[in-house]
């Protein structure tokens, strides 16, 4: 049987690695681990202290498409699970305090979601699954 667990890390391509590192650290309450300057890119790694999830931010020396568009083939969005429905309200308040543009919380028959975007337009979502 093949099994797998939760993701160990997420890597994003960004246009300004320092600005994105500051944004992700503030929004997700991440701690900066290190910066690595390579020949073709600069990488900053951040960690979420509660889960150990690593966020890798990569600024490549050549950027063929300067803004993320979820209609292109590849990643559409990333959804982060919220344990309780009230957690979405807490995230909504947190994003509002940081002036991060976000959708209202939308309740559906399957759960509820709130959508927002990072500085490079990558769609991010908080999702609560309704108990079945």
Model confidence at 119: pLDDT above 90:
yes
Model confidence at 24: pLDDT above 90:
yes
Rounded Cα–Cα distance for residues 68 and 83 (Å): 28
Tell me if residue 23 falls in helix, strand or coil. helix
Alpha helices in the chain (DSSP H): 17-28, 85-97
Tens digit of pLDDT for each residue in 2-23? 878 889 999 999 999 999 999 9
| pLDDT score at 2 | 84
Rounded Cα–Cα distance for residues 80 and 123 (Å): 11
pTM flag (> 0.85): yes
Among the listed residues 117, 116, 100, the one whose alpha carbon sits nearest the alpha carbon of residue 14: 117
Tens digit of pLDDT for each residue in 69-96? 888 878 899 999 999 999 999 999 999 9
Model confidence at 100: pLDDT above 80:
yes
Rounded Cα–Cα distance for residues 113 and 94 (Å): 15
Looking at 2-16, 20-34, 43-57, 101-115, which range is the least confident one?
2-16
Model confidence at 105: pLDDT above 90:
yes
């Amino acid at each position: 049987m093949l099994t797998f667990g939760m993701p160990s890390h997420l890597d994003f391509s960004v246009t300004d690695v320092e600005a994105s590192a500051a944004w992700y650290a503030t929004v997700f309450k991440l701690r900066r681990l290190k910066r690595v300057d390579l020949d073709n890119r600069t990488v900053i790694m951040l960690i979420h202290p509660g889960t150990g999830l690593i966020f890798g931010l990569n600024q490549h020396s050549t950027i063929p498409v300067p803004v993320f568009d979820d209609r292109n083939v590849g990643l559409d969005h990333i959804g982060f699970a919220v344990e309780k429905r009230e957690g979405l309200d807490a995230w909504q308040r947190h994003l509002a305090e940081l002036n991060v543009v976000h959708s209202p919380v939308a309740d559906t028959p399957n759960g509820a979601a709130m959508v927002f975007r990072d500085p490079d337009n990558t769609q991010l979502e908080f999702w609560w699954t309704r108990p079945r």
